[in-house]
Each structure stands twice: as C-alpha cells, then as structure tokens.
Amino acid sequence: MKTQYTLAMLLLVVGLALAGCGGRTDDQADQVFHLRTGLVEGRMAFIGVGGAIDGVANPELAVKAGERVRIELHNGDGISHDLALPDLGRQTPPVMGRESVAALTFTAGSSGAYTYLCSVAGHRQAGMEGQLVVTP
C-alpha cells in the first residue's frame, strides 16, 4: 500500500509539473537544462547534466529573452530538494527520494541575472545556489 501511495504522490507531482507547462511539452522548450542534486567537494550543489553544463556545479544557465526555458531537477542524493527562482516567483515541487524529478517551464523575461536556489532550510547556505542569466 505504501508503494501505491508513493506512486500516486509521484504521479500527482509529475502531473502538477506538466500542468505548469501550459500544455507545452519538453520538445517545445527552446532551452532545456538538467540539474542533478549531489555533493561537490563536500558542499551541496545542483550539478549540470549534459550539454555545456555537464558536470558543472551550480552552472550558469544562459538563455535569451523570450525563449521558452525548461529546467528539470533530478534527485541524485535521496535528500529532499527543490529549485526556486525567487525573483521570478517560480519554484518546482520538492523532489523527494532518489531519482524523482520535477520541472519548471517558463518564458525568459527581461535581461538580467536571477538567482536559482534550493529553498529547503539550510541548503542554499550549504551551496545550492546559482544564476540564470538572461541576455537580450
């Protein structure tokens, strides 16, 4: 029963994440970034997976204004995390349990540097912080 409950919760979280896309799918994003949670040199981090950010801790996510951006957060350490962009009022649901995934899709607005971070208490201070950089 516990497994079924966990599965139901997972489907709910994925459903909510998809609902946040407004019906658009992964393919329709101009930029897709995959970040995996883990430890780098004893500090908590978002670690880039694939492309130019592969293996980079708290990579700078470079996008252009007006682009559709999707950030997928993969749980790599079994600790509860999320990814929040406080300046944009955006936040993924929490990823609880190893290999769970949550995503955030949005259209990049005005140029500037926006902090992304994990909002779980103490995690930003432990290292989970990076920048989304929007250029014209």
Q: Which residues bind Cu ion (CB under 5 A)?
A: 81, 118, 120, 123, 128
Cβ of residue 113: shortest distance to Cu ion, in angstroms?
21
Between 24 and 98, CB nearer to Cu ion: 98
Under a CB-based contact definition with an 8 Å cutoff, are residues 118 and 87 in contact?
no
Between 17 and 117, CB nearer to Cu ion: 117
Tokens of 4: 């079924």
Under a CB-based contact definition with an 8 Å cutoff, are residues 108 and 65 in contact?
yes
Cβ of residue 82: shortest distance to Cu ion, in angstroms?
7
Under a CB-based contact definition with an 8 Å cutoff, are residues 72 and 21 in contact?
no
Between 29 and 73, CB nearer to Cu ion: 73
Between 127 and 134, CB nearer to Cu ion: 127
Cβ of residue 49: shortest distance to Cu ion, in angstroms?
16
Integer CA distances (angstroms), 14 to 10, 25, 28, 106, 129, in order: 6, 13, 18, 16, 24
The SS3 call for residue 99 is: coil
Cβ of residue 101: shortest distance to Cu ion, in angstroms?
15
